[in-house]
Structure 1
């Protein structure tokens, strides 16, 4: 399931295709829909063809008809975030009068896209389940917490071990993700390991077992890790 669904509407075909490629590279698990005309976008949103988390709207250089499309969306009570993409800043003021989320000028850089999308990704996380985001090379990855079994670290490399057996890595330290993993079921049990309590099969004397993998608990974390796991089990029992 896609973490975020993005609509791209720009009647300049090459610009729409370029934006599609940039977004596909930045957000590998995003669902990206291209609308060939303003009317097709308006019809889709009005009739509920697809629920989108954000719209990238190309602005007309001549008369700003795209602004009227956004205004029509707003008049129907839809306040989906719309990011306006224009050749220049001519319609900057008018864009925010129709409650544009942001305003970008062409050519749009990937860094700009990443910056404006981060708060929207955070909102999608709150509404659709917790997720972890990380940047590696030219891509932004989004991993749902429930798809992660555990995270390991070695020599300034962090590896995310997914429940389906796949692995993703990036240059970082395990501590770099502490903020994103706070208030979750992830727990540090070793200098090099952070586990998802939801995925633990067994607690042994000095280790957790997740699937076929045995993950050590270091002496420094032993007391805290064992208590937190037992508290987690007790909480699950109460909930059930």
Structure 2
């Protein structure tokens, strides 16, 4: 059973959301409240698996409320349900699991909850109920004229050069001024490695290593013509961590 809390300052919308959520099998709304203080209090007391959160809580910030909730339990899934689409980038970049824009769609809500259920199935249930995860499922990358949401599972490598990061996927290359360290903080360390001061690679994408210099290797990667560099220190670390020798 997925235990859900709804935080919305308009009672009518709270009731609509509650009904829509509970139409999804194995989902229960355990709390429905309309302000920052009540949300924090109910979350600490009930520890739901997911929170549907409005951005504007009668003048209070839903973003700040969500941040406070994730500080109590970083594993909770925050789904912003709001009329304010302009906050999408900030929400995803920090802690959002999903972002729904009013008017809400029953099928869309069902898909979001279904995704949460699939992630928690097979794990122990209880007050925490959610599998511990590291890293984000999506990166929000701001370009000059657009915002891109990139599935981290699609990332092959990231290169930092001349103050710009190139994020390479199998289909596209995205450019951002965000630092390599900031991107690294959002990636699962079990899947990605900072193999060089200028490169992050997806470990399972490594196809071949070739000696490049006394202390460096060239890394050939799957699904791209791009190559990365790896230091000898990181090469030894990868052997021990991922290859068992």
After TM superposition, the score normalised by the length of structure 2 is: 0.49
User: Which residue of 77, 88, 91 corresponds with 2:28?
Assistant: 77
Aligned CA RMSD, in angstroms, stands at 4.5
Unaligned 5+ runs, structure 2: 30-47, 63-77, 99-115, 120-130, 213-217
Q: Higher Cα Rg: structure 1 or 2?
A: 1
Cα distance in 1 between the residues matched to 2:137 and 2:79: 23
Cα distance in 1 between the residues matched to 2:240 and 2:14: 53
CA spacing shift, 1:82–1:200, aligned 2, 3 Å: same
Residues 41-56 of structure 1: pairs in structure 2 closer than 5 A = none
Q: Which has the higher contact order (CA 8 A, sep 6+)?
A: 1
Contact 2:194-2:201 at 8 Å conserved across structures: yes
Residues 85-234 of structure 1: pairs in structure 2 closer than 5 A = 108=84, 110-111=86-87, 113-117=88-92, 118-121=94-97, 130-137=136-143, 138-144=146-152, 146-162=153-169, 164-181=170-187, 183-206=189-212, 207-211=218-222, 213=225, 215-217=227-229, 222-234=231-243
Greater percentage in helix: 1
CA spacing shift, 1:54–1:194, aligned 2, 3 Å: farther
Cα distance in 1 between the residues matched to 2:12 and 2:197: 56
Contact 2:159-2:199 at 8 Å conserved across structures: yes
CA spacing shift, 1:199–1:103, aligned 2, 3 Å: closer
Cα distance in 1 between the residues matched to 2:16 and 2:97: 24
Contact 2:79-2:97 at 8 Å conserved across structures: no
Unaligned 5+ runs, structure 1: 1-50, 93-100
Cα distance in 2 between the residues matched to 1:168 and 1:224: 28
Cα distance in 2 between the residues matched to 1:234 and 1:87: 50
Equivalences, count: 164
Give the match's secondary structure for 2:186.
Answer: helix
Greater percentage in strand: 2
Per-residue deviation, residues 126-164 of structure 1 (Å, max 9, x unmatched): 6698535233045252322x31111112111111111x2
Per-residue deviation, residues 20-43 of structure 1 (Å, max 9, x unmatched): xxxxxxxxxxxxxxxxxxxxxxxx
Give the match's secondary structure for 2:96.
Answer: helix
